[in-house]
Every structure is written in C-alpha cells, then in structure tokens.
Chain A
Amino acid sequence: MSLAIRRQSILPGFGLTLGYTLVYLGVIVLLPLAVLVLRASSLGLAGLWDIATEPRILAALRTSFSLALAAAAINVIFGGIVAWVLARYDFPGRRLLDAAVDLPFALPTAVAGIALAAIYAPNGWIGALIAPLGWKIAYTPLGIVVALVFIGLPFIVRTVQPVILELEQDVEEASATLGAARMQTLVRVILPTLAPALLTGFALAFARGVGEYGSVIFIAGNLPFVSEIAPLLIIVKLEQFDYAGATAIATLMLAASFLILLTINLIQAWSRRRMGHV
C-alpha cells in the first residue's frame, strides 16, 4: 500500500524505514496503550463511572487536576515574566539562567522531589523561614503546587520565549506613536500577541502536571483525600492488585491528555487563522 501513495522519489529505503517505524511504534506504544483501552472498555462506561466516583479516586483526580491547573496558572504569570526578561534584558548571569531554565527537563524527577522536599520541609532552608509564621508548604497540597511549578516552568518559558524574540519592534513603536503608554502597549498589543503561546505553554504545563509523579510524591505527604495525586493512587491500586481501579484512573488521565493535546492543536490553528502565522 505504501508504494501506491508514495511520491515519486529516487531515494531508497522508504518501505524498510516506514515498515520498521510502524512495527516499533506498534509494539512499544500502540499495542500497550490498546491493551489499556481494551481493559477499560471491558469495565464498561458504567463501571468506569462507578470507579471514578469512588470518593478516594475522585479526591485524587480532583487534587491532580486542580493543583496542576493552579501550578500552570502560576507558571503563566511568572514563566511569562521570566521569558520576557530573558528575551529582553541583559544582566550578569543571564545566559546561565537561560540555560538553567531547562533544568526541570534534565533533572530526574526523583532528585527534584527530594530536593524540593528538603527545602520546603519544616526544617528546610525555606520551610524553616516560614514555619514561625505558621505556614507549611511541604506535606500539604501547597507542596504539590511547588513541585508542579518546578516541573512546568520550562514548558511556558520555552514556548513563549521564541515568540517574544520574533516580536517586531516597530509594532511596539507604532503603539507608542499612537499615544499608548508602555503599560497600555504591554497589555493591549504585546499580551494579545503572546496569548496563543502562553495558552499553549499553559496547556503543556497542565498536561505534564496532571501526570507528574516523581517530583510530587516526596513533597506531597500523600494523605488520602488531601494530598494524594492520581498517579500515586494508580500505584496504590496496583499494589492492592486492584487492576480495574488502576485501569480506570489511567484511562481517565489518558483521555485528559488527549483532550489537552487536542486543545493545544486548536489553539494553534486559531492563532494561525487569526494572526496569519503560528
């Protein structure tokens, strides 16, 4: 079939490489995912619904989604500022910080998890500072947010930064010649231009945050109904040999990822239509 739809080309190896790609993709990714979907469908929609609405699972899903949402929102604001400053300002150490933004991509999540827990624990560098005020970050939902902000930061910065670099200076100047104060230019001209990138970054960080496990469990406290995240509950269910429960949670999370993926594509299509570019 590949021969029929393939463009005339003198390059060799199309059948071999495409075939290998499809087999490898099928074995490693598609077949295992299909098994998950198969298992879930054997539960039936009603069965899926019953499991998903179990109080502990519902609480875990709510925790994962709401805190990932909060962390992504924090990242849109601060990550947006970081991207702006890294793109537009120069100061000692800028290049170092720019490179360091990718640290959450490169640092194993378990390492990030114990490091954040150590910093924000009541006896940690920052935990000790705020403990006298009666504040607690580690082992509370707040700790989860901290971990998810760490994990999500590069998604926002690396999505927005190139768009800032591509902004045309004369558009800002045009705004100024029309009488707009700098703040008006930022809010009325620059922010709307960056909006698609900010939204995309938000969705990416949110998607990553919902599924994140390693960096969260050390700082979360993992208290059922309070600070237990959905991925952890999958593991708990597996350890209890509750395969149906684990499958149901995983299926819901997978569906959420696809929904977010779809949203990102829609955002980009909308942006292309509106602005005539990505």
Chain B
Amino acid sequence: MTSIGTGYDLSNSVFSPDGRNFQVEYAVKAVENGGTAIGIRCKDGVVLALEKLVTSRLLKKDANKRIATVDRNIGVVHSGLLPDGRHFVSRARDEAQSWRGTYKAPIPVSSLANRMGSYVQAFTLYSSVRPFGITAIVGGWDAETDVDVDGAVGSGPKVGAGGKTKGVKEGGPYLYMIEPSGLYWGYYGAATGKGRQAAKAELEKLKLDPKDGECISLEEGVKEAARIIYVAHEDSKDKDFELEMTWISAVNGPTKGRHEEVPKALKEEAERLAKAALEGEDEDEEKMEK
C-alpha cells in the first residue's frame, strides 16, 4: 500500500476520507501547466486571448489555431491538454447544433455553458474515464434583436408585434469558465493556465462590472487582453510564444455578432502597445533602482 500512497488517487469516483477527489485535482494540475488563456466581457463584446507556447521551431507561425468557434456567435479557448480541448470543442459544437435542430435558433451562451458543465462533470463520476485535463473559457454574444425561427416564411404585421414590453433588454455579451470538476461560473474576466495569477491581478484592475459605471469597450478589451497575456508571460520569458486573439461584438459592432479572429492590423497594434507597456514598466523599475 505504501508504494501506491493512500490509494485514494487511483480512480475516479472514489472520495478520500476528507472528501476530496484526487483525480480531479490532478487534472487541475495539468491545466496549471498550459499556456495562459483569458476572456474579457466588455460593454459591447467579448475578447478571448491565448498565450500559445511554441514547442518547436519547426512549427509554422500563426498556424495551428487554438481558439475554436462553436456556433457563429460563440468561441472557446482552453488551457491544458490539447486533445482534451479538441474533444470539448467537438462536443460543444454538437450541443450547439442539437439546440438548433430542436429550437431552430442559436443556443444561448448560458445554456451551452450549462450543458458543457454537465458533460465535463460526468467524467468525474466513472472509474472507466478520467476527468478533462482542461479549463475552458466560453465567450459569446446572445442576439439582442428579434431572432425568428430558422426557415420560417413571412414577417407578421407591418406595424410590428403588439404588446411588446418597453425597455426590456435581451441578449448581450456573456463569458463562462468551466473547470475539470465540471464547475462553471459566469465571469466579467476569466483567466486560466500558467500565468493565471498575474492575469487575474490585471483583470481585477479593469472596469468590467456594470455596477461601477461604464465598462471598457471591446477595442480597449482587445488591447488589455494582449497586454495581460504579455504580462502573464513575463515569468517564463525564456520560452517563445504567439498571441492568439478572437472577439465577438453585437450585430451592429465590428464582427456583426459573429466570433472572429481579431483583424491583423488591430492585433499588431495591440501587441505593439503591450510590448511598449512592458518596457515602460521595466524603465520605471530601473529608475526606481537609481
């Protein structure tokens, strides 16, 4: 028995006497080694960003994208074991399609997060499987305009629907993070992976809670996301990395309600500012030393 520890960490579905599930905790360790991934919920959209660690010089630059589109308006970024992430994304796409099949409308981000949370949790219950070695950040925009049934013909009365409740606001930006245990919460800003502590510290400085007044805009969000990934990378400076960034805006915004890659020009600008901010910090430190 001593050679295998207490034995409580050998299987899923086995609790230790103090109520822990070690397999899930080991899965969290796998996530902690992955490149930093963050999501920011802004006033008019959501930004997803990823520090993609370059594991070989033989890999083509800007190829092998890691942030996935699940439905037109929803993106997923994950940190941890890559193949687990791919399986997660594949399941999320199936869920989104199955929702469309039943309800003839796009899945709300909250419902997708709920279904994926349930799916991930099921992998902590059985001895024949292991938990997901990823933490996934799901970001999306639920349409705030009327969404009609897919394939329906006609438009109803010219004057529009009668009896609408005035001032009712629907849809908007949403951000969720799902952990290996299946636990998920909605966030203003979410971070996971190796640099999550530094990233969280930076995210907390941003104005993201609508209760504190006007939130940051999507474009500001893109620049902050780039900067935060660069800050989070500081501690593992020796390794090479690529920044991957996607965003989702409202229908009247730059992405027209879709999940897309941040345009090259804006991304390069954001990276330039991020590098400048870091150098600025270094200079300040040097001055302080003098």
* A and B assemble together: no
Q: Which residues of A contact B (CB under 8 A)?
A: none
Q: Which residues of B contact A (CB under 8 A)?
A: none
